Amino acid sequence: MARTESAVVVRAEHLTKRWGSTVALHDASFTVERGVTGLVGANGAGKTTLLGMVLGLHRPEGGTIEVLGQDPWTFGPRVRAKVGYAPEHDALPPDMTAHDVVRHLAEVHGLPHRAATERASDVLFEVGLGEERFRQVGTFSTGQRQRVKLAQAIAHDPELVLLDEPTNGLDPVQREEMLHLIRRVGHDLHIDVVLSSHLLEEVERVSDAVVILDGGQVVASGRLAELRGADVGELVVHLDGPGDALVARLQAAGIAAAAEGERVVVGLEGPVVYDVVRDALADLGLGLRRMEPRISSLEDVFLAAGTLSS
Amino acid sequence: MSSAPGTGHIYDGGYRHYDGPRLGPSSAVRSVMKQTVQRVMGLRRPARSKVLPFLSVIMAYLPALVFVGVVALLPKQVNDGFLPDYAEYYGFITMAIVLFVLFAAPEALCPDRRSRVLSLYLAAPLTRGTYLLAKAMAVASVLLLVTLGPPLLLLIGRGLQGVGPDGPVGFLVIFVRIAGSGVVMALFYTAVSMAVSSLTDRRAFAAGGTLLAIIGTSIVAGVLVNAMKLSDAWYLANLNVPPLELVGRIYGVRGGLPEVGTVWVALAVAGWTAGGFAVAFWRYARLRVTR
């Protein structure tokens, strides 16, 4: 099966879905491109419904959705053969071994028995459960079960993998490891990932792009770098004293600058600015704590979109 | 997996991309079916999971083994007329079949919903329909073990006794009758027990519910016929009656309902079977996953 070459993995246009009187998705339009995409929103924002629609499990009431170039509602089995999915909730039979579960699900996704057996071991090693793979899933910790869910989602070598809240119930160390694994899946194994989470900070750390949902609506979507304006073109200089002298000096040199207490925000018009700042600091004898390009966090984007209700 | 010299790769970690063949939904159905049969039979599972399936299999085959053994060991004049005919044999093993029915479908359906592995199956190249098809085929094939195997064993026994079928045509006729009866029984009980099992995700409730359905319908049918003086055909509402009666007709015997036409018996079996599957499909069509 040839891998889809298109840069667009999921394309949704004016997608609408209701559950009874509850609007789960309303006029949602966005594209998911290659790489790792975070699907962010508070609980009940429509993330899981959206993943269900990507899998072709729910029929859109309005609008269209295309996954790997096909309509998942019409071509469900064909699309799902190329997609891996790890749900938010526990979804593993407790009385089977991790290896049996992963092998069986790989077979269900179309792999012949022998390939499924080999790959079950491979992916369980990949997620760090190589030694435990013949233990029953019921004896596993929450962290280990999350890893088995990830393993079964990638065992059939999908083109796209959907991870619904994969860090739920994990302690900080396990979360770190899970995020590392997800980054590895997306960047080293080249499987496109859609990662849903209500935790901004974790999405920010592993994703290339985000789709932000609130109350079933897409409030922002796009590359992370563009959304948070990585190239806002400003340099923040942290000093150990008032920055007014530095500001005056820089303005005299024709560089935009403004003091915010002990911080000075400098317009970054070119690499030469760094030299000017350095020389100015040296001449004025000011102590420099640190210097960094100004990056707005995803949280700023979120706040700007007025969604950070929780 | 071997590479030509100079084109080898050193793989990082355990993960490799897969470029081998990918089989379609029919393979998914086969895999679920195989997995379910193993699960119901307790294979690849702890010893306690094997007790019930093997107990019912032994209960189903033991009478046939005894009959065949007696026939094979004792002289003909002693055991003349000793063997039951095929339709009668189901009377000996009703308990085994019911026992099997009580745990096969609950074991096949309930744990998938309780552990929510169903949401992983439906995220695979299966649909609710093909998933249930796989489950139904698994339950039916397990039930065939007790509805089809023992009469076949009996066929061998009768052959030994010299009262087996005459010639290839006779053999074919009896073989078709045995196969038809086995399939009718298996499908009937698969449908009924899957319908009950689709209503709960607890195995014990599903098994109890199936038993209640079998006992309850026999009470209802008894009341309808005896107390309300309705026709004997209402006995077909009793879940025990239609499959056994139809099996009798397949062998050309009119059983407990001699004045009810074979068409009605066949319709009752078909109705219960279709109705049972319809309930299961209806339930699964309305199940909520991934929302």
B-proximal residues of A, 82-111, CB under 8 Å:
83, 85, 87, 89-96, 100-101, 104-105, 107-111
Which tokens go with A198?
């209500």
Coil, helix or strand at residue B161: helix
Contacts of B36 in chain A (CB under 8 A): none
Candidate from A81, A94, A156 with C-beta closest to B115: A94
Q: What distance in Å separates residue A85's CA from the closest CA in chain B? A: 7
Residue listed under structure tokens 């700023």? A300
Q: Do B115 and A77 touch (CB under 8 A)?
A: no
Check residue B8 and give its pLDDT.
Answer: 59
The per-residue pLDDT for range B142-191, each reduced to its tens digit, is 999 999 999 888 887 777 777 767 778 888 888 899 999 999 999 999 99
Q: Do B120 and A105 touch (CB under 8 A)?
A: yes
DSSP state of B45: S
Residues in chain B: 291
pTM: 0.84
Q: Which ipTM value was assigned to this complex?
A: 0.87
Candidate from B15, B22, B111 with C-beta closest to A111: B22
Q: Do B125 and A80 touch (CB under 8 A)?
A: yes
Q: Do A157 and B18 touch (CB under 8 A)?
A: yes
β pairing state of A22-33 and A8-19: antiparallel
Candidate from B15, B117, B123 with C-beta closest to A126: B15
Candidate from B15, B20, B126 with C-beta closest to A189: B15
Check residue B6 and give its pLDDT.
Answer: 55
Whether the CB-CB separation of A100 and A122 falls below 8 Å is answered with no
Q: Do A111 and B117 touch (CB under 8 A)?
A: no
A102 → chain B, closest CA residue: B120
**Backbone torsion region of residue A200, taken as left when φ is above 0, otherwise alpha when ψ lies between -120 and 50, otherwise beta:** alpha
Check residue A118 and give its pLDDT.
Answer: 93
Q: Do A77 and B127 touch (CB under 8 A)?
A: yes
Give the sign of the dihedral formed by CA B86, CA B88, CA B90, CA B93. Answer: negative
Low-confidence ranges of chain A (pLDDT < 70): 1-5, 229-232, 295-310
Element (H, E) at B40: helix B25-41
- What integer is the mean pLDDT of B181-203? 95
Residue A274: how many other CB atoms lie within 10 Å:
13
Mutation target for A interface from B113, B117, B286, B288: give the one with most A CBs within 10 A: B117
Q: What distance in Å separates residue B144's CA from the closest CA in chain A? A: 24
Q: Do A57 and B290 touch (CB under 8 A)?
A: yes
Q: Do B290 and A52 touch (CB under 8 A)?
A: yes
Candidate from B20, B127, B290 with C-beta closest to A51: B290
3-state SS of chain A? Answer: CCCCCCCEEEEEEEEEEEECCEEEEEEEEEEEECCEEEEECCCCCCHHHHHHHHCCCCCCCEEEEEECCECCCCCHHHHHCCEEEECCCCCCCCCCEHHHHHHHHHHHCCCCHHHHHHHHHHHHHHCCCCCCCCCEHHHCCHHHHHHHHHHHHHCCCCCEEEEECCCCCCCHHHHHHHHHHHHHHHHHCCCEEEEEECCHHHHHHHCCEEEEEECCEEEEEEEHHHHCCCCCCEEEEEECCCCHHHHHHHHHCCCCEEEECCEEEEECCCCHHHHHHHHHHHHHCCCEEEEEECCCCHHHHHHHCCCCCC
Model confidence at B11: pLDDT above 70: no
Check residue A299 and give its pLDDT.
Answer: 67
Q: What distance in Å separates residue B10's CA from the closest CA in chain A? A: 14
Check residue B79 and give its pLDDT.
Answer: 60
Contacts of A107 in chain B (CB under 8 A): 27-28, 31
Q: What distance in Å separates residue A270's CA from the closest CA in chain B? A: 40
d(CA A192, CA A207): 11
**Residues in CB range of A4: below 8 A, 6 or more apart:** A68, A69, A82, A159
Check residue A262 and give its pLDDT.
Answer: 82
Check residue A309 and give its pLDDT.
Answer: 43
Mutation target for B interface from A49, A108, A156: give the one with most B CBs within 10 A: A108
Contacts of A77 in chain B (CB under 8 A): 24-25, 28, 125-127, 130
> How would you class B51 by CB atoms within 10 Å of its CB: exposed for 0-12, middle for 13-18, buried for 19 or more?
exposed
Whether the CB-CB separation of A294 and A234 falls below 8 Å is answered with yes
The per-residue pLDDT for range B61-99, each reduced to its tens digit, is 888 888 888 877 777 666 666 677 788 888 888 888 898
d(CA B121, CA A69): 22
Q: Do A130 and B14 touch (CB under 8 A)?
A: yes
- Give how far the C-alpha of residue B202 lies from the chain's centroid of Cα atoms, to the nearest Å: 20
